[in-house]
Amino acid sequence: METNKEHASQWFKNLRNSICKSFEEIENIYSGEMANSEPGRFERRLWDRPGGGGGEISIMKGRVFEKVGVNFSEVFGEFSPKFQNKIHGAEEDPTFWASGISIVAHMNSPLVPAAHMNTRFIETKEQWFGGGIDLTPTFPDEEETVFFHNELKKICNEYDSSSYDRYSKWCEEYFYLPHRRESRGVGGIFFDQLNSGNWERDFSFVKKVGEGFKNIFPEIIKKKFNKNWSDDQKKQQLIKRGRYVEFNLIHDRGTKFGLETDGNTEAILMSLPPLASWP
């Protein structure tokens, strides 16, 4: 197992590096109306977790990405007695280890969707992978949505033929705001407690999800990032981001979990948009 943990953690870190590089590349090739400003570059900050481990936040504020955060973390220790009962496999032993990568991108252009990707490997008395990718356009676009879901379906089909249906349904149910009676975005895939008994196979799927995000999202960005937008479209985007804030602070399990277990506030709330509106 020691080697599995090392492999997973190393993969998440390498993926972080290659995604940051690919996003900086997008900043470079941009030629839209904000092209007079400098291309954005990631800044990194390390943080320590008092109970064990820590992470590294990479943040870029650029001309395509208004704010994008890429978090890598590897944490370990013991869950508090209050929490251990809520965690798979920790009921009798609070010891845990977890590593993952988490990305949230809020774009300058209201025509380009916000995106979120996360993959993680967790070990208690059990061990499993979890993660997902989802897209939040302000102005949903049929062609874009179909392309996005088809690409995810291809990735899932390589794992097994039923996973896309299950994971896209899971995503739809998870990213829902009951008080607004609306979805956060146009869905994607979401999975948790993935352990088929074949670690290499599951790991390979998780790697493909990460690689997939690195390929799919830039394709989506590049289709629209150079187009002009109106003030009214920007206003609509800020309202949509308000809903994003509502979801993350009221419902998101990762956010709740992090805040209630004394996680790194800056890393946890990196997902919040640079600007949001409740007019």
Give the catalytic positions in this structure: 116
Backbone angles phi, psi at 145, to 5 degrees: -65, -40
Closer residue to its own copies (CB): 5 or 63: 63
According to DSSP, residue 247 is labeled I
Closer residue to its own copies (CB): 59 or 203: 59
Closer residue to its own copies (CB): 87 or 249: 249
Q: Which range of residues in 17-25, 87-95, 163-171, 263-271 is near its own copies by CB under 8 A?
A: 263-271
User: 118 is written with which tokens?
Assistant: 């996360």
> Among candidates 72, 90, 70, 71, which has minimal Cα distance to 81?
90
C-alpha 84/C-alpha 158 separation (Å) is 34
Binder to its own copies among 149, 238, 254, 257 (CB under 8 A)? 238
Burial (CB count within 10 angstroms: exposed 0-12, middle 13-18, buried 19+), residue 278:
exposed
User: 77 is written with which tokens?
Assistant: 């220790």
146 is a site residue for its own copies (CB under 8 A): no
249 is a site residue for its own copies (CB under 8 A): yes
Binder to its own copies among 100, 113, 137, 273 (CB under 8 A)? 273
50 is a site residue for its own copies (CB under 8 A): no
Q: Please list, in sequence order, all residues whose beta carbon lies within 8 angstroms of the beta carbon of residue 77, skipping any fewer than 6 positions away.
A: 49, 51, 52, 53, 95, 96
CB 225 within 8 A of CB 64: yes
180 is a site residue for its own copies (CB under 8 A): yes
Closer residue to its own copies (CB): 5 or 106: 106
User: 239 is written with which tokens?
Assistant: 């309202």
Q: Which range of residues in 20-28, 78-86, 94-102, 241-249 is near its own copies by CB under 8 A?
A: 241-249
Q: Which helix (H) or strand (E) holds 107?
A: strand 95-107
80 is a site residue for its own copies (CB under 8 A): no
Closer residue to its own copies (CB): 166 or 251: 251
Q: Which helix (H) or strand (E) holds 151?
A: helix 142-159
275 is a site residue for its own copies (CB under 8 A): yes
Q: What's the closest the beta carbon of residue 206 comes to its own copies, in angstroms?
A: 29
Binding site for its own copies (CB under 8 A): 61, 67, 179-180, 238, 242, 245-246, 249-250, 259, 265, 268-269, 272-279
